Structure formats: C-alpha cells, structure tokens
Structure 1
Amino acid sequence: MPLKMAYSPCPNDTFVFHALAHGLVPGAPPVEVTFADVDVTNTAAERGEYDLVKVSYAALPWLLDDYELLPCGGALGRGCGPLVLTRGGHRADLTGATVAVPGDRTTAYLLFRLWSARRPPARIEVVPFHEIMPGVAAGRYDAGLVIHEARFTYPRHGLTALVDLGEWWETDTGLPIPLGAILARRDTVDPVAAAGWIRDSVRRAWADPAASRDYVLAHAQEMEPDVVDRHIALYVNEFTADLGADGRAAVAALLERAAAAGLTPQVSSSRATAWTS
C-alpha cells in the first residue's frame, strides 16, 4: 500500500518532494500525493487522513498526539515571513479594519495575532489564499495577510506592505520564522525512515534542479518561471535539510509564546521540537 502524503502545489514543496513522489528515493515506499493548501491539510491532519503531511507550525498543538514532527522537509527561514498588505498605502494602521487571512490555524495568522496583541482589534475573514490580494485591491478587504510568492508579486496589485511579520519576528526573537512543518503519523510511519527519505529527496533536488522542473512548473499555479526560481531559493534552504538548533529554538519559541498568550493549547516540551537525527 502506498503512503498517503499531502503537500501544497507551491514550488518549494514540489521541488523538495519530486524525487520521493516519483519513486526516485531508494528504499522509500510508493507515495500517493494529494495537493492541498495548508489550511486544508491542517484540518485534514487532525482527522488523520495522511501518513506524511505538510502543515502549519501553528497547527502543531492540535496534531502532536497523533503525529511526529520531522526535522526536515519543512519551511523555515529568514526574510521570508508573512506580509500584511493594504491598498496603495491608504492605511497607516488596522484600527477597525477587515483583514483577510488564509486560515485560522496558519502560522501567518498566529504571527499576526502575536504582533497585534496590544493593538486595536481588527475584523478577520478567512479567505482562500488566491483571493486575498485581488480582494484587497478591489476594496473588499481593508488589508490582507499573505505568504509565499505574494512577497514577489504584491506590487502588481497596487498593494503596499504595512508590516513584514517575519521581520518583526526576527527582530523580536533573533530566530528564523517557522512556517510549514512535515509530520509523520505515529501509527503508520517510522519517523526515522521517513526523515531519511525526505532528506534524500532534498539532496536529489539540489543535486539536479532540472529533474523536477516540469513537475514544479506544472503545479505552480501560473507563476512565472522567475518567480518560481525566487520562491524556491527563498524557502528551500539549510533548514529544509535539517532544522538545526536555531530551527528547533524557533519552533519552541513560537509554540511557547502562542500558549502563553492563550492562542493555542500548551505543547509538552518533549513534543515542541523535532527529535535530533
């Protein structure tokens, strides 16, 4: 039976998992891939639908009883955080604003809530990611919380960055931004083996970037090739191969701050970061 795996169609995921998905990793089992935005996988993982799954770090408090956090394959980094966008710089703050967000358990939204804790509350609407920038540009929302390739494309929509939440997080903590995590279901997958397959897939992606090109572009949601390349270069980095000490500290800091603020359940220290391997 193939393993059921879910990750996004974003270039960083298709680049990283191309070899694993195509049976190019020696010793790895066949993988049945489902493409889904992270807001979908966050809730699907809670129902136990996948053996390996990409989720938001913000969703971990609801998932770690059934899933093991793997130390590779995820998305962390510096200079790659979520942005709060407004139309043409019309707003200096979010007092009374309606803000479109991509999901209520996304890391982007958790960072937004931590950042805005001492600011006047805004009205929040959960909106499919691809609708956020057009909605802000059209005036349906006063602001939008965006991630990934929107960092490169938002000026075309006539939008302005009110705040870079990654920059705020890095300044406040000195740590990278923990965005997306890879989880292995405890009752169906050996996490040590799974980490090995994923690390092999990452190494193969870096060793031969051209091998995954058609796969990446086929799922890149009409992104131009130069945006795809910038996306991969930013989000596939040393933390993808291994979280390392800084990555683990970033995950622990995010979950501890969220729990202390009453935004998520408390996670035990033994499960707050991936095991060392």
Structure 2
Amino acid sequence: MKMIIAHTPDPDDAFMFYAMFEHKIETSFDYEQVVKDIETLNRESVDANYDVTAISANGYMHVADKYDLTTSGASFGLTYGPLVIAKNKIDLKGKTIATPGKYTSAELLYRMFAPEAGKFKEIRFDKIVNSIMEDEVDAGIIIHDEQLTFQNKGLVKVLSLYDEWKKYAGDLPIPLGFNAIKKDMPLEYKLKYKTDFENSIKYAKEHETDAVKYAMKYSRYDDFELERKFILMYVNDLSIDFGETGRKALDLYYKRAAEKNIIKPFKPVIV
C-alpha cells in the first residue's frame, strides 16, 4: 500500500522523515513524498488530499473533521518559539505585522500574547525578513531557521512569543507544528504509520550527521552547523511521542485562544 505524506521544506521535517524516504528502516507502507510550505499545507488540508500532512496547531482546528493529530512528528519549542523582529525596538500596538499565514501557530500565538496589531500582512515565511528590510511592514513574526540569522541583517528582537507563553504555561513546551493523519483511515493503519515514523525519528537521532546531510537539500542556508543547531532546537524526545506533556500544552494553547475570544473552545483528536 502507498501512503502520501506532505511535509514542509524545512530541515527539521526532512530530518525526521529521512529514514522512511531513504529506506533506512523497514516500513509497513510505501511512502510518497510531497513538499510544500506550511501555510500552503494548512490551506490544502481542507481538501484532505494527503494521507498524512504537516499542519500547524492553529490550522488543525479547521480540519479536525478530516484529520487526527498524531503524537509523533510534532515540533514543540522547549526553550524557543516564534520571534517578533523589527529594524528597531518598537511598540507593536497598532503596527503592520508580517505573519507567515493566518493558519500558522505563529500568528495565533501573536494574537494570544502580543499587543494588538493594526494589520496583519501574510508573507511567505522566508520572505518576512526582506519585507521588514524594505519597509513593507513595521515588524514580522519569524519561524524556522530565520530565527538564527535575522541579526545578520541588523534586525532586532522585539518580542519572544516563547517568553510570553512561558509566563502563561510555565515549563510546558510551546506547541507549533504537527502531523495529522486522515480520520477515516483504519486505526490499524494509523498505528502502523506511527510506528514507522517513530522509528524514522529515532534512526535520525541515532545517525544525526547523515540525517542532517540529507536535510541540507531543503536548507535555505549553506551552513551545516547552523542547520544542525536549528534541527536540534525542534526535534527532541517530544517529536517521537509528545505524550501527556504535549497533550497538556495543546490544551492550554487552545484554552488561551478561547479565553481571548479568538476561537471557540476546542479539543484536538489525538492518536
């Protein structure tokens, strides 16, 4: 049986899928790979074109009738999260803020914890730094490896959304990206897929250098150690199985959004 998996062109995703796509481990299915940016996948998930898709914690709310979240493959920030940056330290209230997409976790976290924006402007995540440099926006929410390079352009951190999350949630990790599997798939298949993916992540962690080399073909920077650092920021033990810790963090994430009247009360379906 063939299963179609859609993931993002981000080194952390590629790192986790390395063993599955490169046939380093035995798997229960043949896997076909589709690679698109996270906001595109968030939007396409409403059509349920893929058996498994990367999805934001925010985006998942809109397709919970079509997909279940899996406990494997998630990105939780243990000490990191989206950053709000600008040319100078500014008051964000009423400003035009670049966001990687209305369905991304980054935008919802901003709306939960940051001063009210005057306007959000959706810009592809890898174009946000340039949009600030060219004065298209006052500030921007950055995700992925741009978090490690924005200072090179002379930009400054205005707000850490992880720090704001920590004030609210204590030591619980910040929920960011997830994998979702089609709801109507037989439970037996879901569990077999999860086993394959968990084994793939474990293999990558045990063969880190080889897995990072594979992930480099998706990298936007030709810097092996930079990408290794980024990958290890977000691929951790919770990526294998986020367990009770991840469930508690997700519950608080959706609770906060509901308390701020951004969403209706929501409970994810997790396998």
TM-score after normalising by structure 1:
0.91
Q: Return the alpha-carbon distance in structure 1 between the equivalents of residues 25 and 77 of structure 2.
A: 25
Identity of aligned residues (%): 26
Alignment pair present for 1:249 and 2:248: yes
Cross-structure match for 2:16 = 16
Deviates more, 1:256-265 or 1:177-186: 256-265
* C-alpha contact 2:96 2:117 (8 A) present in aligned 1: no
2:140: which partner in 1?
Answer: 144
- Shifted more, 10-19 versus 26-35: the winner is 26-35
Cα gap change, 1:121/1:208 in structure 2, threshold over 3 Å: closer, same or farther?
A: closer
Deviations 1:199-243 (A, max 9, x none): 000111011123324321111123411210111111111110111
Rounded to whole Å, the distance in 1 between the matches of 2:6 and 2:47 is 13
Gaps of 5+ in 2: none
**Aligned equivalents of 1:74 and 1:224: distance in 2?**
24
Quick one: which of 93, 96, 99 aligns to 2:94?
96
- Cα 1:172/1:223, change in 2 over 3 Å: farther
- Could you tell me which runs of 5 or more consecutive residues in structure 1 were left unpaired when the two chains were aligned: none
1:178 — aligned with what?
175
The DSSP-based 3-state class of the residue aligned with 2:149 is helix
Which consecutive segments of 4 or more residues in structure 1 shift more than 6 A?
none
Q: CA RMSD in A?
A: 1.6
Name which of 121, 125, 128 aligns with 1:125. 121
The aligned counterpart of 1:67 is 67
Q: Distance in 2 between matches of 1:103 and 1:263?
A: 16
SS of structure 1 residue aligned to 2:199: helix
User: Quick check: 1:84–1:146 contact (8 Å CA) kept in 2?
Assistant: yes
SS in 2 for 1:149: helix
Q: Is the 8 A contact 1:77 1:239 kept in 2?
A: no
Question: Is 2:80 the counterpart of 1:80?
Answer: yes
Contact map agreement 1:62 1:265 (CA 8 A) in 2: no
| Residue identity in the other structure for 1:14 | A
CA deviation digits over 1:19-66, x for unaligned, max 9?
112233323211111111110111111110110111101112112211
- 1:61–1:265 Cα contact (<8 Å) kept: no
Instruction: Compute the TM-score of the two structures, normalised by the length of structure 2.
Output: 0.93
- Figure out how many residues of one structure are paired with residues of the other and give that number: 268
Matched with 2:196 is 197
